[in-house]
Amino acid sequence: MNIGLGSTNVDEFRSRVRTFLDRELPADWAGVGKLNHHEAEEFAKQWRSTLSEHGFLATSWPVEYGGAGLTELEQVVLAEEFARVGVPTGAMNDVFGITMIGNTLLHWGTDDQKKNFLPRILSGEHIWCQGYSEPGSGSDLASLSTRAVLDGDEWVINGQKIWTSGGHLANWIFVLVRTNAEAPPHRGISMLLVPMDQEGVEVRPIKNMAGEYDFNEVYFTDARCPKENVLGGVDEGWPVAMTLLGFERGEAAATLPIMFRDELQRLFALARENGAASDPVMRDLLADAYIDNEVMRFLGRDSLARYLAGHAPGPDAAVNKLFWSEYHAKVTELALDVLDRESLVVEGRRPTNTTMYQTDDVGAPTSSASWITTFAISRSGTIYAGTSEIQKTIIGEKLLGLPK
């Protein structure tokens, strides 16, 4: 995908990225999808170090904090080139450490917090996960009940979080807690930065419908963190939480379509191979998927233009999140129709990490296991980072001005 916003500088940057990839990847490299799970895991660790060493990690962060200081347009070029050769842009938990809490620290953090946390995120010393949803507080996040009480120089935390992706891999968690029971729901919440390697934090894995253990429950029993580990101020965590969700929903708007387009091309190839493309109804459905993918691409371009103009992620991010999550659920269901009877039996190579890539690995051989697993995982996309229903509410109220 070429987003059509090129310039001489962008062309030079693309050439620089291609030179880097040619130099760092093996001559016979065919994509991480050609590796078995153990090989892919080892490659991901080594590749993250390589990206950090050459300034291709935390690409949006300012150089003074160890980032690459790339423009949004350069980040899209980087994503295009990485997708072209089939390499990841980081490790699984980097979406929480770099994209979410890292960017939020840059926006809301004190100088001491930035100096303390940002270098450790980049080095991999701190591996982060997200503590938002609770058993009784998912879409209605402001009703959360996990509490924190100040005890001298430390916060004492009690409660439970759920659907914590990557929590079993993390050693830090950013947690929304209630610090003032008397305040209105949105005013009595704080965001705390909490170490997980302590006796008061218990992580229990949850198997998802694809048979993976990406999700977790996290229990806090008198867990502690330093008093100064409040991001954005005591009882002022709601706008911080919304900023973080804006980064989660908005930053990938221009890069996700790149992965989805590659996935769609693999689906087209499968339909041609097994004869599904000869059916006129199936061809119409595949054409609809192509049109949706192009719409998503142009939505991403619109978001990119906004960011280039200096606008931080806002309610408009809900449009992108709603569109890509519903699109992916639909297109992966279409993939099972293309597979036809093969979709009844899970055979072949499973994806190594659909949580990070959203899709199967680039270069992966076509198999029923690949499409069935991606189909199952895609359903969670309509729930995490705000359910589709919540995104529709945001669009209606914040963008269209409809009554509540």
248 given a catalytic annotation: yes
Q: Tell me the C-alpha distance between 331 and 265, whole Å.
A: 12
Helix (H) or strand (E) holding 98: none
Q: Is 301 helix (H, G, I), strand (E, B) or coil?
A: helix
Q: Where are the beta strands (DSSP E) in 48-164?
A: 128-131, 147-151, 154-161
Q: Which tokens in the block code for residue 246?
A: 């804006």
Name all contacts of 115-121 with Cβ < 8 Å and 24+ positions apart: 117/193, 118/61, 118/65, 118/66, 119/65, 119/66, 121/58, 121/97
Q: Tell me the C-alpha distance between 232 and 107, whole Å.
A: 9
Is residue 95 classed exposed, middle or buried when 0-12, 13-18 and 19+ CB atoms within 10 A define those classes?
A: buried
Beta bridge partners, 201, equal 220
Q: Tell me the C-alpha distance between 299 and 265, whole Å.
A: 20
The torsion angle over the Cα atoms of residues 193, 197, 199 and 202, rounded to 10 degrees, is 80
Q: Tell me the C-alpha distance between 116 and 193, whole Å.
A: 12
Of 378, 321, 334, nearest to 354 by C-alpha is 378
Q: Which tokens in the block code for residue 245?
A: 């969700």
| Sequence-separated (6 or more) residues with CB below 8 Å from residue 326 | 382, 388
Q: Tell me the C-alpha distance between 315 and 242, whole Å.
A: 10
Q: Which tokens in the block code for residue 161?
A: 């979080």
| Sequence-separated (6 or more) residues with CB below 8 Å from residue 204 | 216, 217, 218, 219
Candidate list 72, 212, 248, 263, residue with the active-site label:
248
Catalytic residues: 248
